[in-house]
Amino acid sequence: MMFTDSEIFNNHITKIKVTIDKLTNHKIVFEEYIVVPYFGFIILRFNLKDDSVSLDDLDKYERQLDEIVGPDYLVDFMGSTYRKVGVDFSNSSDKLSRLFNIYKNENIEFNAPYKKDIQNDANELLIKVGLNTKEKVWEIQIEDDEINLLILGKENRLIKTIEGQTRINVQEVKEEECTGLVKAIFYAKRNKVSLGRLLY
């Protein structure tokens, strides 16, 4: 069983969802989590119900989420929330490369208590699909009967699909772009501003 399928993890996420819903008076809603084994963290993603929102509002809300969630997770909003302040995702590839260059010296070390668990999940999946455990796993996306295993590399492409009780799709994604996003997230967290402000 994968760590993110475990009862311990799911109970913890449920508590976070309930707490945030209560403390924000149903204004901020938990949507999904992103497992990022290579960098050793999990990002919790939220939606903001307000139709009208400013960058200053997003700064405030992401600081609030950080305080509620604590030091074990990173947080951000879904793209639909960032679009409300005018973030344009049509040129996201160029934007992520730009973030990599701007924040290339940003420290991205993160020591969450589950770090080894999600790295072990990544290694088990790599072995299952016949890849070396030295591969850098950017993300593990878990859906009902399908797992997407995203490997850091030089281009965006499907590498292979492994059929079985659970289908595993192995995809390569651009390392520079992913690293640029991670560095921006850490910069935003340290400076108590919204990621949306950096994507704007």
Rg (CA), the chain: 17
What is the model's pLDDT at position 48? Answer: 95
- Tell whether the model's pLDDT for residue 1 goes beyond 90: no
- Tell whether the model's pLDDT for residue 144 goes beyond 90: no
- Tell whether the model's pLDDT for residue 112 goes beyond 90: yes
Residue 20: which of 72, 62, 79, 78 has the closest Cα? 62
Q: The whole model's pTM is what?
A: 0.93
Average confidence (pLDDT) over 161-185: 95
What is the model's pLDDT at position 109? Answer: 85
Report the DSSP pairing between strands 157-162 and 167-174.
Answer: antiparallel
Contact residues for 134 (Cβ-Cβ < 8 A; gap 6+): none
Contact residues for 189 (Cβ-Cβ < 8 A; gap 6+): 66, 74
Q: Where are the strands (E) in 118-190, listed by range?
A: 137-143, 146-153, 157-162, 167-174
Average confidence (pLDDT) over 9-36: 95
Q: What number of residues does the chain have? A: 200
